[in-house]
Amino acid sequence: MPGELDREIILDGCVNFRDVGGYVAAGGAVRWRRLFRSDALHALTAADVEVLRGLNLTTVIDLRSGFEREHDGPGPHPLAELSVRFVHAPIIDAGNGAIMADSSLTLAERYARIVETAAEPVAAAVTAIAASPGASVFHCAAGKDRTGMVSAVVLGALGVADDDVVADYAMTGAHLEAISAKLQGHPAYETTYQYVPKDAMTADAQTMSGFIAELRARHGDMGGFLRGAGVNTDLLRAALVA
């Protein structure tokens, strides 16, 4: 059984890939080696692909926009040879993109508004996680904002304690410098990165605490939010909690 030191999966083409298993949940614990979160996967090497093959990865959920994906470069996705199922569930698009740039809101408030305006793709992502026959990974560009939102609603719906959800988010803080370098080297962000609000390149605990409080105030809990979006949380629990 993997231990705490095994949470982070070291890969050449990613800087923020980790297991979200092991947390105490309602009725058990989140399964290890079943669900992963990550930054973008387009730069995975052949050696990385073999690592993920060994983790029985069967589902890849991309939370980025079509514009971002189009700039990943030519050729098939590195994981195409694994015959994984690819699910595209863009959390931020033309309809709600201005929210992330609204510095009159706290980052936590922006997260909450984005998740609520993106209830359909969030539900699609979580439903794909629940239905995955093997391990699944969900990712955005940095593995922090959109990925952090989905991680929080999934873990929260499973009954994981707020402190653990917050700590899971804050782990990205150790990788912010590498994430920044990776984003600045991606063609999709060459002209837009400089306009990103400074607080959007943080992974502070209070941001996730605030996000949880915002959603709880309006939906009761994360499970309530997901059920309102059409997710069968019983299936999610059956897939992820042992």
Q: Is 140 a catalytic residue?
A: yes
Inter-residue contact 52 to 80 (CB < 8 Å): no
Q: What is the pLDDT along the chain (242 residues), one digit of tens a residue?
A: 444 548 999 999 999 999 999 999 999 999 999 999 999 999 999 999 999 999 999 999 999 999 999 989 888 999 999 999 999 999 999 899 899 889 899 999 999 999 999 999 999 999 999 999 999 999 999 999 999 999 999 999 999 999 999 999 999 999 999 998 888 888 878 766 665 677 888 999 999 999 999 999 999 999 999 999 999 999 999 999 99
For residue 184, give both structure tokens.
């600045």
Q: Are 149 and 106 in contact (CB under 8 A)?
A: no
Contact partners, residue 64, CB within 8 Å, separation at least 6: 40, 90, 139, 140, 141, 146
Q: State the pLDDT at residue 101.
A: 86
3: three-class secondary structure by DSSP: coil
Which position among 118, 125, 130, 140 bears the catalytic label?
140
Q: What is the CATH topology of the domain spanning 4-235? A: Protein-Tyrosine Phosphatase; Chain A (3.90.190)
The backbone region for 83, taken as left when phi is positive above 0, alpha when psi lies in -120 to 50, beta otherwise, is left
Question: What's residue 120's pLDDT?
Answer: 98
What is the residue extent of each domain of the chain? 4-235
- The answer to whether residues 208 and 148 touch, using CB atoms and an 8 Å cutoff, is yes
Q: Are 155 and 23 in contact (CB under 8 A)?
A: yes
Q: How far apart are CA 36 and CA 129, in angstroms?
A: 10
Q: How far apart are CA 75 and CA 154, in angstroms?
A: 32
Please give the model's pTM, rounded to 2 decimal places: 0.94
